[in-house]
């Protein structure tokens, strides 16, 4: 106990200027550094805002079955398909209509007959790309109603980017 009393007396006898007094203490130095860093973070210049790029403008075009075919989503191309003479840009639905999607065989083609019959079979697609367009003969009232439902769905979700005409009709437009 004598040691403790002796030590207390030594500390009491020390000159107060020997220890940290006033404003310059380790705690105050840390607080000043934190304050300056926080102020820097609040007032540092922010990087300029970058606006998203606009999608390229789409011009309404006249397509033939042959000129529509490359727009099937391969090689970075957009995905287009035609329904009753209207060409729709279905690129936003690439998971459905693009490569690997359930409706991929309609991409770049006239999908009218296949959609009307709810069929993905190749025989529902036009084979002769230079021949006349499918006039949809043989469709019953149920198929026309189904096709009209698909067409309304496409009109509400996708942009019309052109019209589909037969090869001979396109040459007359040029």
DSSP percent split of the chain into helix, strand, coil, nearest 5: 45, 10, 40
* Burial class of residue 66, CB neighbours in 10 A (0-12, 13-18, 19+): exposed
pLDDT at res. 174:
43
For residues 58 and 171, the model is more confident at: 58
Which residues are registered as beta bridge partners of 163? 62, 86
pLDDT at res. 57:
72
Min mean pLDDT across 65-69, 119-123, 154-158, 160-164 is at 119-123
Rounded to whole angstroms, the Cα distance separating 98 from 27 reads: 64
Q: What is the pTM of this model?
A: 0.65
């Amino acid at each position: 106990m004598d040691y403790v009393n002796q030590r207390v007396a030594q500390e009491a006898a020390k000159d107060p200027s020997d220890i940290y007094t006033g404003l310059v203490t380790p705690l105050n130095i840390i607080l000043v550094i934190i304050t300056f860093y926080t102020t820097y973070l609040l007032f540092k210049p922010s990087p300029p805002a970058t606006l998203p790029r606009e999608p390229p403008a789409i011009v309404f075009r006249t397509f033939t079955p042959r000129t529509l075919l490359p727009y099937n989503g391969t090689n970075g191309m957009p995905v287009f398909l035609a329904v009753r003479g209207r060409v729709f840009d279905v690129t936003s639905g690439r998971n459905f209509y693009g490569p690997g999607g359930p409706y991929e065989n309609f991409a770049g083609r006239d999908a009218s007959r296949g959609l009307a019959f709810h069929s993905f079979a190749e025989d529902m697609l036009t084979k002769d790309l230079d021949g006349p367009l499918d006039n949809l003969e043989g469709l019953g009232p149920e198929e026309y109603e189904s096709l009209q439902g698909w067409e309304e769905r496409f009109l509400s979700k996708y942009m019309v980017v052109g019209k589909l005409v037969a090869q001979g009709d396109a040459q007359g437009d040029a």
